Structure 1
Amino acid sequence: MARVRVLPESARSPGRSETESALSLASRMPHLVLEARRVAANLAHGIHGRRRAGTGETFWQFRPFVTGEAAQRIDWRRSARDDRLYVREREWETAQTMWFWIDRSASMGYVSDLAQAPKIERAIVLGLALADCFVEAGERVGMLGLMPPRATRRIAEAMAQTLVTDRSALEEDLPPQAPVAPQHEAVLISDFLSPMRDITAMVEAISARGARGHLVMIVDPVEETFPFQGQAVLHDLEDGLSLRIGDAISWGRAYRLRIDQHREELQALARRRGWTLTIHRTDRPASEAALRIMTLVSTSRGTGPGGR
């Protein structure tokens, strides 16, 4: 039978127990930062069709000339076809902003011996690795309610530093009410075990102004299979409640049906709002989920296979 444990609050804020004078992030979160760098490096080999920062030689699109711009930016050949002036935009000029949120509530401290890592560690690694890849692609990355968008090559360290020093979100299982501008994108990493009405309200609030989003659901294998027998005691990590059950096998069947229904509702919500949903099990490599998310982001913008 699978053994499970729950990480303490301090483990959901890695490095917090270190002294505040420890300036080097590597001394606070060495494992997670280095793992994120490794995933990002592997991911770079599997990304195709991504926009890159650089000299801006690759054509992106034409847009109308705006009064006050330098005349040398006008594309005269395209302008000759119409009665308007047009500017040729390059890829690096259309960089977008990605917003991240990583759930650090109590349920994210769950881990079984079937997993490669606790849910919270996998969520942090995925977030840092994806942020590193987005910045490398010429985009800006911020953290909802915690950090404004940046384009620094040390984005993983900046995000990790923010997570280390912030404890306000350890009890929150959904993102803060932070505005996301039109055309920006949000990557929300959580187990999404909150009531659907709360998740729906959050997604609709973010997408109301035209922002796109990607839900990344982190799941421990035991949370999917419920491989228990006989009597068992179930603990609600968020509310501190306990439930003793006498027939774990029968209860497990009802549990799996409820989980399937919850995921179907999540998928329907994502589809309805034009978002994506990725379910990642912690017994699988982080690079699998990271590559899928990068592909979904490209596809949603029309820059993946078959896009423009």
Structure 2
Amino acid sequence: MAAENRHLNEEILAVRRADGESRTLAASLPRLVLEARRIAANVIHGLHGRRRAGSGESFWQYRRFVSGEPSQRVDWRRSGRDDHLYVREQEWEAAHTVWVWADRSPSMAFASRNARDSKLERGLIVAFALAELLVAGGERVGIPGLMSPTASRSVIDKMAETMLHDDATRASLPPSFVPSSLAEIVVLSDFWSPLPEIAAMLAGLSSSGAHGTLIQIVDPAEETFPYSGRVEFVEPEGGGNITAGRAESWTNDYVARVALHRDQIREETNRLDWLFSTHTTSRSAAELLLYLHSGMMVSKSGGRATVKAGRSA
């Protein structure tokens, strides 16, 4: 009984944190910004930019001439320096807009004892760090409904300031808007919204031909449902609650419902040629950042930026 009471008290504290943390975002943001910059700095040293050969004005590199190419592509000045023929390649000016949405709704503030960060903290850290890397690579980053696309090197500060001055109700999903066909969207959320709402969001964002990635950020407790005995579950956004007499008896049904919900989301993203992956807050933020950024390579064939598929990040 003592163990059950201790566990219940821990979860009550987690619920209270979920209720209060979203109201103290102003106090948390400086720390999250510093953490995002630290992670971005650590990651960026091992990454190459998103530059690719193609049409553009900036010189990129010389490469060996390949038999069968048009002879007018040969750079005769460079080729005259030795016994090989070289082609002067220009940088492909591929900068486009990446819209990044980090869910800041009350449910994201939840954090159990096994989490490194709350879902809110993890989503913001990764959103800020991803924006930093993208801008360093020549991209523009915007927040749907909040911040116009920018290539400013102070993009993290702009994002944080915009969020601090956002007095609107914090929705789980990004607002309806029509991105350009070449735009890319990254949505970081726990995606516990009803499936029809998620499907409607996807339909709207993909209507112009844009593509993107949904990352479901979850707490370890939301993955495994480690509850037993009498537990009261409080819904942080609707204010409702439900009491389980023997919470352990709910585990199998819970896990099955979560798997079904994810399968349904994945079915929607696959149909629209989007990607869906999950990330648990017991894992590192750098792991998710690498997963997102390393896969965002522009395809010369269609101009689309894609994220390599994976079961989880």
Counterpart amino acid of residue 147 in structure 1: M
Per the alignment, residue 163 of structure 1 pairs with 163
- Equivalent residue runs for 1:209-288 within 5 Å: 209-288=208-287
* Residues 221-270 of structure 1: per-residue CA shift (max 9 Å, x gap): 00001111111111111211111111211112101110011111122222
Is the CA contact (8 Å cut-off) linking 2:213 and 2:307 kept in structure 1?
A: no
Higher relative contact order (CA 8 A, sep 6+): 1
User: Bigger radius of gyration, 1 or 2?
Assistant: 2
Report SS of the residue matched to 1:112: coil
Counterparts of 1:55 and 1:304 in 2: how far apart (Å)?
27
**Which structure 2 residues correspond to residues 130-169 of structure 1 after superposition, within 5 A?**
130-169=130-169
Alpha carbon RMSD of aligned pairs, Å? 2.6
Structure 1 unaligned residues grouped into runs of 5+:
18-27, 60-74, 79-87
Find the aligned partners of 2:46 and 2:269 in 1 and give their Cα distance: 25
- The change in CA–CA distance for 1:42 and 1:110 in structure 2 (over 3 A counts) is same
Q: Offset of 1:169 from its aligned partner?
A: 3.8
State the alpha-carbon separation in 1 of the partners of residues 232 and 160 from structure 2.
Answer: 35
Call closer, same or farther: CA 1:105–1:291 in 2, change over 3 Å.
Answer: same
C-alpha separation between the residues in 2 aligned to 1:236 and 1:8?
A: 10
Is 1:12 aligned with 2:22? Answer: yes
Count of aligned pairs: 268
Aligned-partner Cα distance in 2 for 1:304–1:291: 11
Q: Quote the Cα distance in structure 2 between the aligned partners of 1:304 and 1:200.
A: 20
2:58 paired residue among 42, 56, 59: 56
1:232 aligned partner, one-letter code = V
Tell me, in whole angstroms, the C-alpha distance in 1 between the residues paired with 2:99 and 2:260.
28
Query: Given the two structures, how large is their TM-score scaled by the length of structure 1?
Result: 0.80
Question: Which 4+ runs in 1 deviate beyond 4 A?
Answer: 302-305
Q: Gaps spanning 5+ residues in structure 2: where?
A: 1-6, 62-69, 74-88, 309-313
- Matching residue of 2:72: 77
The TM-score with structure 2 as length reference comes to: 0.79
Query: Contact conserved, 1:58 with 1:90, CA < 8 A, in 2?
Result: yes
Check if 1:198 corresponds to 2:193: no
Aligned residue in 1 for 2:174: 175
Q: Which amino acid aligns with 1:195?
A: P
SS, match of residue 94 in structure 1: coil
> Is the Cα–Cα contact under 8 Å of residues 99 and 144 in structure 2 kept in the other structure?
yes
Q: CA deviation at 1:9?
A: 5.5
1:116 counterpart = 2:116: yes
